[in-house]
Amino acid sequence: MRYLVTGTAGFIGFHLARRLLREGHEVVGIDGLTTYYDVLLKQRRLAILQEFPGFSPYEFMLEDEAAVIRVFEETKPEIVVHLAAQAGVRYSIENPRAYINANVVGTFNVLEACRFHPVKHLVLASTSSAYGANEKTPFEETDKSIHPITLYAATKTSTELMAHCYAHLFAIPTTAFRFFTVYGPWGRPDMAYYIFARKILAGEPIEIFNNGESYRDFTYIDDLVESIVRLVAAPPAFPADRSGEPAPAIDTLSPVAPYRMVNIGGGHPVKLMDFVEEIETALGVTAQKVLKPLPPGDVVGTYASAELLQHVIGYKPDTPLSVGIPAFVEWYRAHVN
């Protein structure tokens, strides 16, 4: 298959592209190599992908509509995996325009390209931050009270709605998935686990927000990639293909479009302090901890319902922190510290 993957210099895009290339697929990669975090890390990821003959990289921002269309015309992808985005909850408070440009305008250009160059399946990334101020847990895709509390979350929710419109109007089989706190080797330096490792090894104190009572549904990168690969192979049906049978109550199949939205999380939330202890154990160092209040834009917890994911692909993330954190630390010691 010929895949077009946006964000191939990013954490998740790199891991997915490498998996696809190892399996013998062709991967067309688009990345803007922004300076949001260390560009050298992004270049190192790309260098690994470029060792595969099936990888074709393009460097530009998705806001460049003409460039997006040109790549679709030149490469004729069969599957599109749209992962590129301006990430980061707190940075969206400082630089909101970057999120409108990258996430809304960039996604619109990808959708337009899929409109005029039809693909077998479009899959695109959203975020658990979309659930925002929801107090009901676990978060279910069918929850109606979605109240994002940052512009980052609002832009990602907007891309879900845009994608549904395009799926309906132009018959594009589309799956949107909400990620839950992804971690692992080759991760982003702005993520908490990466910052914790760096500071603990440097003998610097780490900041623990909400007195360590916050919790996250952590997802190991290999589990995430496995989930994406399986979801790619399970495009949502056109409504007419459902033979008049109602979708299961847990499903999010659209009644008017070949569209589905699904969580990718294991359904095993962990308190932040327990997460820190796993990092301390893997590093063999006890952290100096400074307790801080919850910052603006952060939520107390995320907790995925994995029922729909299990229903659709027969799989859900299950790598425990006791395995995933040591794998990250081993990579960090070898490549960073």
Residues tagged active-site = 152
Which are the contacts of 138, defined by CB distance < 8 A and separation ≥ 6?
Answer: 267, 303, 304, 305
DSSP 55-124: EEEEE--TT-HHHHHHHHHHH--SEEEE------TTHHHH-HHHHIIIIIIHHHHHHHHHHHS--SEEEE
Q: Provide the sign of the torsion angle of the four alpha carbons 153, 190, 215, 15, taken in this order.
A: positive
Amino acid making up residue 32: G
Distance CA 193, CA 206 (A): 10
Q: For strand 182-183 and strand 219-220, is the pairing parallel, antiparallel, or unpaired?
A: parallel
Closest CA to 266 of 179, 189, 159: 179
Helix (H) or strand (E) holding 161: helix 151-170
